[in-house]
């Protein structure tokens, strides 16, 4: 017997059609019975704007740049996320904090420009893993559609969370994740351990 993957294949035959086959009507009735039975089946449709499909709690959607509890931006423009990014979607420019801007930026260095190209991004979450300052997180928000390619390059205006509209990332920022990021064996943890950095390992 020939190799058979499923048992749905039928041997072709050229035999004369029987009377009931020639009449077509039994076949038509059969077909109509099949369609009729579908009348009573539940549609698997999810009416999207009204209903939302259940999402994984750790869904990796649009990024957010977090602020700290005082409302200052956490990002120090170290560039670890851009290095970690396999799709090379992240670019940034750094700037120095001026006097009187302490409430805006957490540390002396900050990102004057921070852009993620949402068309390049593969939403792997490696930027989040790489971030030593707990500044970037992926959220359960879905990146909006747009008409122009250029509009998919999200700047700080879209990425940084608003002071009065904090984005909840507690689902992805669990104590386990924080503990994981402190494991000394990991390369990026070593890198930011002050002593080892001074040894000029990199």
Q: Smallest distance, Å, CB 99 to other proteins?
A: 56
Q: Which stretch binds other proteins (CB under 8 A): 2-10, 33-41, 77-85, 181-189?
A: 33-41
C-alpha to C-alpha distance for 78 and 110, rounded to whole angstroms: 8
Judged by CB under 8 A, the residue of 3, 11, 34, 183 near other proteins is: 34
Cβ proximity to other proteins, 24 vs 192, nearer residue: 24
Minimum distance from residue 26 beta carbon to other proteins (Å):
13
In sequence order, which residues have a C-beta less than 8 Å from that of residue 157 and are 6 or more positions away?
none
CB 155 within 8 A of CB 52: no
Contact assessment for residue 94 and residue 111, using Cβ atoms and an 8 Å cutoff: yes
Asked if 163 interacts with other proteins (CB under 8 A), we say no
Tell me which residues in 36-75 interact with other proteins (CB under 8 A).
36, 38-39, 41-45, 47
Nearest residue (CB) to other proteins, 38 versus 182: 38
Taking the least distance from each CB to other proteins, the nearer of 51 and 164 is: 51
Determine which helix (DSSP H) or strand (DSSP E) holds 91, and give its type and residue range.
Answer: strand 90-96
Among residues 35, 145, 165, 198, the one that binds other proteins under rule CB under 8 A: 35
Helices vs. strands in the chain: H and E counts, helices first: 8, 5
39 DSSP 8-state letter: T
Instruction: Tell whether the torsion through CA atoms of 101, 106, 111 and 117 is positive or negative.
Output: negative
How many Cβ atoms from other residues are within 10 Å of residue 58's Cβ?
A: 12
Nearer to other proteins, 41 or 202 (CB): 41
Nearer to other proteins, 7 or 17 (CB): 17
Which residues of this chain interact with other proteins, rule CB under 8 A? 28, 31-32, 34-36, 38-39, 41-45, 47
């Amino acid at each position: 017997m020939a190799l058979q993957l499923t048992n749905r294949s039928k041997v072709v035959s050229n035999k004369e059609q029987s009377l009931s086959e020639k009449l077509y009507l039994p076949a038509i009735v059969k077909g109509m019975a099949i369609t009729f039975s579908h009348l009573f089946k539940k549609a698997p449709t999810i009416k999207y704007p009204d209903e939302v499909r259940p999402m994984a709690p750790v869904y990796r959607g649009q990024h957010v740049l977090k602020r700290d509890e005082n409302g200052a931006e956490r990002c120090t423009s170290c560039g670890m996320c851009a290095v970690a990014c396999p799709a090379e979607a992240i670019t940034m420019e750094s700037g120095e904090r001026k006097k009187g801007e302490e409430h805006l930026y957490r540390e002396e260095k900050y990102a004057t420009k921070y852009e993620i190209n949402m068309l390049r991004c593969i939403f792997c979450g490696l930027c989040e893993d790489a971030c030593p300052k707990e500044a970037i997180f992926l959220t359960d928000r879905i990146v909006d559609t747009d008409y122009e390619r250029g509009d998919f390059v999200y700047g700080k205006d879209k990425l940084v969370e608003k002071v009065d509209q904090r984005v909840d990332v507690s689902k992805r920022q669990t104590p386990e994740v924080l503990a994981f990021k402190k494991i000394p064996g990991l390369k990026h943890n070593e890198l930011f351990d002050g002593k080892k950095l001074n040894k000029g390992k990199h």
